[in-house]
Chain A
């Protein structure tokens, strides 16, 4: 297999960008060989791409379960470890249990959703990456790999579709 080069095509708007993706696919770039970088979230269907997989919900649900277990431990486990009478209330009370379990479940859910977002996206990461600052000005960039020798073909094709620039993607300090 010949060497692959990473290129970054920058588009002004969504329309040409989605055309560019179409074109790249036609040119034989597999879906997992390209990525879209944008300043706002753009639905995958708009760009004609398959939706990215996310593990955040699964991680969050795991967190919820763990949180619930923690809550149950706090309300029913700690009195087991050190039982104390207060005000004639039961040692293992149900109503209070609902409250604590609920809070802990929610904390687990959200905490793990947050952590999941980090884990699944590889954050935080301060290594150099392929990126240009114009993206945060609303430009859309397509990052793709193409065979070394077909670089020119790809650049021309995309330029024709309205790409502002198509250049060798160069990893730089963000």
Chain B
């Protein structure tokens, strides 16, 4: 060939993307955005109330009544037995703590790294942390044999001067989860203050009273902003190690036990990445639901955000696969008798299909879908992938907890686990999670408007040659 250039694509085959597809380059006035967010909070249709009502009924029946039943009857109504002393309740604990990780991850890490795409959905993600931790906490209580005495884990001496035992991984867990719940709630509240002030300024009646209390008298003076931003920065940096520690310690509940299939040094990071895996996926589901059910949200939540999420999901999925393989091959190659049996049991035992389903959902599905930008930008598709990943991660926890517990060093006791009332309570847990979201969606501004406006202020388009190039100045 004597051509001086590679063959060219047809003209306009590669259209320039319109930068206005991006939220940051499609600015609207703050007042307009405020109105949109307020409207989304105020508009409730009969569908909303129906769904909320149904969820509330489910929560009352499947969570609170079933819990009462569980407490009165004892754990016998659940499926736990010897040797599977830990069942779905602990699966739920790990699952919800995993879900709760995404909120902080998106909010804190992306804030620290100044990823601009985070701006519109940090709030929704942070809510997920808090609501997820609520479910995790409930599941811990469900799990306990004598939940009415659970306050004995709080570090204070009893009447004989006895304190809790900090040798126990459960105590570390208790300390870590408490820390995480407290700090993530505070971290949710801090960026909410200016939005509460905004809502206070534009509402009347009971909402006004409530928002006034929640806005704690915030006006937006220099000093207030400075203190707020400083505190948020401290939180953003401090909560990341706490987040890692929480799920690491959750994994240590298992890794510290001398049980085949559990005692593994890779469990810490493996659980953290697993938490992110399910958490990211859950964010995708929640964003899709918010975008498609709430008014005005299509402006704030755009394909670009799903694209960002999709990329994160793909990345985390690959990391998860790496860690899983790491865990797998070490025990596979090590050839320890008991580890081998556990592996054989998961792969060829009576529940072999769970193992294959887990691998399919957690690795194959994201790999197959998320490479494609168009697919990544399709909210409903991403939500479905998110759903499958969450199913896969739930199965992963199921395999790690009740299924692995079937195998121990006393083969005489090996016995399968058949869930009982846990199933009902799990439904209740999920319903409660969504109910909290439903209520929050009409009470809390799900979009941090001030952050979006801050983004708008710092973004400009600049013409370079024939193309409009987005630019970003650091306002913070």
Whether B223 and A74, one on each chain, are in contact in the complex, defined by CB atoms closer than 8 angstroms, is: no
- Which B residue sits closest to A36, measured CB to CB? B222
Question: Given A39-B198, A54-B223, A106-B242 in contact, is the A113-B231 Cβ separation under 8 Å?
Answer: yes
Contacts of B155 in A (CB 8 A): 74, 78
Inter-chain CA distance A174–B222, complex, in Å, is 18
Is A56 part of the binding interface, using a Cβ–Cβ cutoff of 8 Å?
Answer: yes
Across the interface, A110 reaches (CB within 8 A) one of B163, B186, B200, namely: B186
Is A1 part of the binding interface, using a Cβ–Cβ cutoff of 8 Å?
Answer: no
Whether B190 and A114, one on each chain, are in contact in the complex, defined by CB atoms closer than 8 angstroms, is: yes
- Which B residue sits closest to A102, measured CB to CB? B245
Is A20 part of the binding interface, using a Cβ–Cβ cutoff of 8 Å?
Answer: no
- Which B residue sits closest to A38, measured CB to CB? B220
Contacts of B30 in A (CB 8 A): 39, 136-138
Whether A40 and B219, one on each chain, are in contact in the complex, defined by CB atoms closer than 8 angstroms, is: no
Inter-chain CA distance A93–B213, complex, in Å, is 45
Residue of B31, B225, B475 with most chain A CB atoms under a 10 A cut-off = B225
Whether A174 and B161, one on each chain, are in contact in the complex, defined by CB atoms closer than 8 angstroms, is: no
Across the interface, A136 reaches (CB within 8 A) one of B29, B201, B222, B226, namely: B201
Is B150 part of the binding interface, using a Cβ–Cβ cutoff of 8 Å?
Answer: no
Whether B231 and A43, one on each chain, are in contact in the complex, defined by CB atoms closer than 8 angstroms, is: no
Whether A99 and B172, one on each chain, are in contact in the complex, defined by CB atoms closer than 8 angstroms, is: yes
Is B159 part of the binding interface, using a Cβ–Cβ cutoff of 8 Å?
Answer: no
Inter-chain CA distance A57–B165, complex, in Å, is 33
Across the interface, B182 reaches (CB within 8 A) one of A84, A111, A124, A129, namely: A111
Whether B227 and A54, one on each chain, are in contact in the complex, defined by CB atoms closer than 8 angstroms, is: yes
Residues facing B in A33-51 (CB within 8 A) are 35-44, 46, 49, 51
Interface residues on A, range: 35 or more
- Which B residue sits closest to A99, measured CB to CB? B172
Across the interface, A35 reaches (CB within 8 A) one of B200, B213, B222, namely: B222
Across the interface, B227 reaches (CB within 8 A) one of A82, A84, A121, namely: A121
Whether B217 and A129, one on each chain, are in contact in the complex, defined by CB atoms closer than 8 angstroms, is: yes
Residues facing B in A114-139 (CB within 8 A) are 114, 116-118, 120-127, 129, 131, 133, 135-138
Question: Given A37-B221, A39-B194 in contact, is the A74-B166 Cβ separation under 8 Å?
Answer: yes
Whether A137 and B179, one on each chain, are in contact in the complex, defined by CB atoms closer than 8 angstroms, is: no
Question: Given A39-B30, A114-B190 in contact, is the A135-B220 Cβ separation under 8 Å?
Answer: yes
Whether A121 and B224, one on each chain, are in contact in the complex, defined by CB atoms closer than 8 angstroms, is: yes
Interface residues on B, range: 35 or more
Whether A39 and B231, one on each chain, are in contact in the complex, defined by CB atoms closer than 8 angstroms, is: no
Whether A106 and B198, one on each chain, are in contact in the complex, defined by CB atoms closer than 8 angstroms, is: no
Whether B172 and A41, one on each chain, are in contact in the complex, defined by CB atoms closer than 8 angstroms, is: no
Question: Given A103-B176, A138-B453 in contact, is the A126-B212 Cβ separation under 8 Å?
Answer: yes
Q: Closest CB of chain A to B207's CB: distance in Å?
A: 14
Whether B161 and A82, one on each chain, are in contact in the complex, defined by CB atoms closer than 8 angstroms, is: yes
Whether B31 and A138, one on each chain, are in contact in the complex, defined by CB atoms closer than 8 angstroms, is: yes
- Which B residue sits closest to A55, measured CB to CB? B227
Q: Which 5 pairs, one residue from A and one from B, show the smallest C-beta to C-beta distance?
A: A138-B30, A133-B201, A124-B216, A78-B163, A125-B217
Contacts of B201 in A (CB 8 A): 133, 135-136, 174
Question: Given A56-B230, A93-B167, A136-B34 in contact, is the A118-B29 Cβ separation under 8 Å?
Answer: no
Whether B179 and A103, one on each chain, are in contact in the complex, defined by CB atoms closer than 8 angstroms, is: yes
Contacts of B453 in A (CB 8 A): 39-40, 138
Inter-chain CA distance A110–B186, complex, in Å, is 8
Contacts of A137 in B (CB 8 A): 29-31, 34
Contacts of B200 in A (CB 8 A): 174
Is B347 part of the binding interface, using a Cβ–Cβ cutoff of 8 Å?
Answer: no
Inter-chain CA distance A56–B202, complex, in Å, is 30
Contacts of A131 in B (CB 8 A): 219
Contact flags (1/0) for A40-73 with B, using CB distance below 8 Å? 1111101001011110110010000000000000
